[in-house]
Amino acid sequence: MADSPDQGAVHVPVMLDEIVALLGPALTNRPSADDRPILVDCTLGLGGHAAALLENCPQARLIGLDRDTDALDTARRRLAPYADRIELVHAVYDELSDVLADRGINDVQAVLLDLGLSSLQIDRTERGFAYSVDAPLDMRMDRSEPLTAEQVVNTYSAADLTRILFEYGEERNARRIATAICRERESAPITNSARLVQIIAGAVPMAAQRTGGHPAKRTFQALRIEVNRELEALKGVLPSAVDVLAVGGRIAVLAYHSLEDRQVKQVLRVASSDRAPRDLPVVPPELGPELRLLTRGADRPDDREAAANPRARSARLRAAERIAPAHRSTPRGRAG
């Protein structure tokens, strides 16, 4: 996510034109005003993508989910011109199925997931997400949840910290950093980002600090993912997001690191492949693919956007469309 919390100078969200181009066709050309297509923005953030889609698709109705109440408040103000077409819900995106079931909705025309942090969470330094400024070690996207980064750092065992840093941060020096954290917290609890950054810098060899960016980057990513159970939630939402798509409906996902993107790639790949045995000459309709991929691999921001918005540089966009069931068996190698 990449909006600005300053409503006087709202930044353009990541790959905005691409998102509108991919999801727009599923949200237009409905037969009547009563048959409004539904867009579910599972990570509403500050509402930048949603606003553009509502503007470009005047028949569309939005259900916007976010776990961050600050983001919901800001998005509600930003989306005020479309108030009669929106419903904003305080929920984590893996609650998608329950949110729709509670509203009697069986299928939708578009689903958007813009993963990672919003600019609001980064720019409000008191939230503790940024390693570049000193702040309390919080890192909760939903501040009603009990687990904070401070608790993780001060109560998890060295083995658990090592696992989290290695798996969620892909940190090669995970064991060194975890050992240093456990040693330092014995003298006093680690409560702020500046002290944690200092501990990490002291644990990472100087040779490793000369490459790969800031030495605390991967540790902060890992702690954030653990606190907010981001990969667990993503694993839960992706199959649900595919299942709720109506025929002709589309899903678009923006991921910002390889852990997220691998999950997205796997789910879309499986759903876009048939499930028939490889030696079967004809694919029965019930074993055909559910999705048609709309992107070749992952699309990336162009050089101009990456230069203008550093937060867009790591973005990977994947999208797919739910396809109609075949009315007859499809010979392999031919379009159905």
Determine the pLDDT at residue 208. 73
Residue ranges for the known binding site for S-adenosyl-L-methionine are 47-49, 66, 93, 114, 121
Residue 135 CA to residue 188 CA, distance in Å, equals: 17
Q: What is the pLDDT of residue 284?
A: 67
Cα separation, 323 vs 37, whole angstroms: 17
Tell the CATH superfamily of the 125-228 domain.
Putative methyltransferase TM0872, insert domain (1.10.150.170)
SS3 226: helix
Residue 122 CA: distances (Å) to CA of 132, 186, 228, 279: 10, 29, 15, 52
Q: Examine the pLDDT at 327 and tell me if it is beyond 70.
A: no
| Residue 196 buriedness (CB in 10 A; 0-12 / 13-18 / 19+) | buried
Segment 90-98 mean pLDDT: 96
* DSSP category for residue 25: G
CATH homologous superfamily of 16-120+230-331 equals Vaccinia Virus protein VP39 (3.40.50.150)
| 168 in Cβ contact with 178 (< 8 Å) | no
- Please give the Cα distance from 48 to 120 (Å, whole number): 12
CB 266: neighbour CB atoms within 10 A? 12
Q: What is the pLDDT of residue 258?
A: 92
Alpha helices in the chain (DSSP H): 16-23, 48-56, 69-78, 96-102, 119-123, 149-155, 158-169, 174-184, 193-203, 206-209, 217-228, 230-243, 258-271, 303-308
Q: Are 221 and 202 in contact (CB under 8 A)?
A: no
Mean pLDDT of 304-330: 79
Q: What is the pLDDT of residues 143-196, one digit of tens each?
A: 889 999 999 999 999 999 999 999 999 999 999 999 999 999 999 999 999 999
CA atoms lying within 13 Å on the CB side of residue 162: 9
pLDDT surpassing 80 at residue 72: yes
Residue ranges for the known binding site are 47-49, 66, 93, 114, 121
Q: Classify 70 as helix, strand or coil.
A: helix
Considering the chain, what percentage of its residues have pLDDT values greater than 90?
73
Which of 12-16, 113-117, 139-143, 325-329 shows the lowest mean pLDDT across its residues? Answer: 325-329
Euclidean distance between CA atoms 178 and 160, whole angstroms: 9
| pLDDT bracket for residue 12 (50, 70, 90) | confident
Residue intervals in the chain for CATH 1.10.150.170: 125-228
Indicate where the chain has its CATH 3.40.50.150 domain(s). 16-120+230-331
3 pLDDT more than 80: no
Residue 86 tokens read as 């929106």
